[in-house]
């Protein structure tokens, strides 16, 4: 893309990835309330474990890293679960490995020796796994299919013991519990997240560290059902992260200006009209990730066509519609419901929607739940009545669907 068209000296930072580098933290905006609460847990010397909940793209990782990255050489360790295969023992191995690296970086006494013990432990465990696969363990021995016996070597320690030792060493060195941020867990299936919680049980019952964990599960669902008690029983507090609140376009402009201004040239001019800022807020539905993704597509097309600035809402809508970025997620039955919501002056109830669509109640409930998840519709509770209406994003998506799909 020719960034000179925008009056920029270089490409602005429009990555949809979390803010993980020190120089990227300047792009962080909003979330003052959540930051204040999180900082309290960062600064306490008491071992407490915190769960951050919220939908994808709302900035959970960036929130924790905003406070944690400046403390990387003091007491903050980020464990990236995307580097693990999530197999039995893998999570604990990864945490132990990263803590040992942290200990060596801080030149903590005993960290190098524990690192050697860990490598030895891993090697012996892998050899033992091969022996076990070839035969059956009987009272400390491995019996092969041919009937011969091989004595199994008894390890003087295991990964969990090494983890406990390095945690004690780190805590004694820095004089308070270290902060362990277990990241990239929220993109995994829920069953895998639950497996991870079981594998890090020793951390969550420990007073040797503070654990921060993220989940896409929304807070109202965390307290429903027995299965979710795994979250309640293991964490001291839950910090819910909601969508960025719409603000007549000013929040979208603030987020984008932060990324444009560091590389602005003499002829720089903010590229979007006010109405386009509002549109971007609407279709992003509070997700910073979506805001940046849509912005990249619009700017790329505007630059290619040498469009005069400021970019108006019609052009922005046309770009996103032609690239199937708005209406691709709508099914025909969902469209029927959305069309009724558009035509009804008052928000209709489930009963009215059922009469208009002729869908079975169970089918209607599934469709409405899905539309809510996608951010196209919103539930309104009026006493015992539950009504439904289109969100601003839903209105744009409906319009895009009718232009591109009908």
The pLDDT value recorded for residue 86 is 52
Q: How far apart are CA 90 and CA 199, in angstroms?
A: 9
Q: Integer distance in angstroms from the first to the last C-alpha of the chain?
A: 32
Please count the CA atoms within 13 angstroms of the CA of 252 that sit on its side-chain side: 28
The pLDDT value recorded for residue 157 is 62
The pLDDT value recorded for residue 184 is 73
The pLDDT value recorded for residue 127 is 59
149-151 β-sheet, strand order: 135-138, 141-144, 149-151
Q: How far apart are CA 168 and CA 178, in angstroms?
A: 10
The pLDDT value recorded for residue 319 is 96
* Residue in the block written with tokens 């070839």: 134
> pLDDT means per 10 residues in the chain (406 residues)?
75 87 88 92 91 87 94 92 60 88 92 88 60 39 41 57 92 94 76 76 86 77 54 80 88 93 88 96 93 93 85 96 90 94 83 90 93 91 85 95 85
CB 212 within 8 A of CB 180: yes
Cis peptide before 310, with omega less than 30 degrees from 0? yes
The pLDDT value recorded for residue 76 is 96
The pLDDT value recorded for residue 383 is 79
The pLDDT value recorded for residue 221 is 60
Q: How far apart are CA 26 and CA 278, in angstroms?
A: 23
């Amino acid at each position: 893309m020719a960034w000179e068209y925008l009056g920029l000296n270089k490409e602005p930072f429009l990555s949809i990835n979390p803010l993980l580098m020190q120089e990227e933290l300047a792009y962080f905006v909003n979330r003052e309330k959540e930051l204040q609460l999180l900082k309290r847990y960062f600064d306490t010397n008491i071992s407490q474990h915190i769960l951050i909940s919220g939908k994808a793209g709302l900035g959970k990782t960036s929130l924790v890293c905003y406070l944690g990255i400046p403390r990387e050489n003091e007491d903050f360790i980020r464990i990236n679960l995307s580097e693990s295969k999530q197999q039995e023992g893998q999570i604990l191995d990864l945490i132990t490995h990263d803590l040992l690296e942290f200990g060596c970086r801080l030149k903590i006494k005993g960290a190098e020796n524990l690192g050697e013990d860990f490598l030895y432990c891993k090697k012996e465990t892998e050899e033992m796994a091969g022996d076990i696969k070839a035969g059956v363990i009987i009272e400390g021995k491995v019996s092969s299919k041919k009937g011969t016996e091989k004595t199994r070597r008894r390890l003087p320690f295991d990964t969990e013991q090494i983890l406990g030792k390095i945690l004690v060493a780190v805590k004694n060195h820095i004089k308070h519990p270290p902060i362990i941020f277990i990241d990239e867990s929220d993109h995994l299936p829920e069953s895998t997240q639950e497996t991870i919680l079981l594998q890090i049980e020793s951390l969550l019952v420990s007073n040797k560290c503070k654990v921060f964990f993220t989940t896409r599960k929304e807070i109202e669902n965390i307290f429903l059902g027995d299965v979710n008690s795994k979250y309640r029983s293991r964490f001291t507090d839950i910090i819910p992260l909601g969508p960025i609140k719409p603000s007549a376009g000013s929040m979208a402009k603030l987020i984008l200006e932060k990324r444009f201004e560091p590389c602005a040239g003499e002829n720089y001019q903010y590229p979007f009209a006010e109405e386009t800022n509002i549109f971007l807020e609407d279709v992003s539905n509070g997700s910073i990730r979506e805001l940046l993704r849509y912005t990249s597509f619009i700017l790329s097309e505007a630059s290619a066509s040498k469009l005069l600035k400021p970019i108006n809402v019609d052009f922005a809508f046309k770009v996103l519609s032609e690239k199937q970025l708005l209406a691709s997620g709508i099914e025909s039955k969902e469209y029927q419901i959305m069309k009724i919501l558009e035509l009804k002056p008052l928000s209709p109830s489930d009963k009215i929607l059922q009469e208009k669509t002729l869908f079975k109640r169970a089918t209607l409930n599934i469709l409405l739940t899905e539309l809510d998840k996608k951010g196209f519709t919103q539930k309104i509770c009026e006493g015992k009545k539950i009504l439904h209406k289109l969100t601003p994003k839903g209105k744009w998506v409906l319009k895009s669907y009718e232009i591109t799909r009908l």
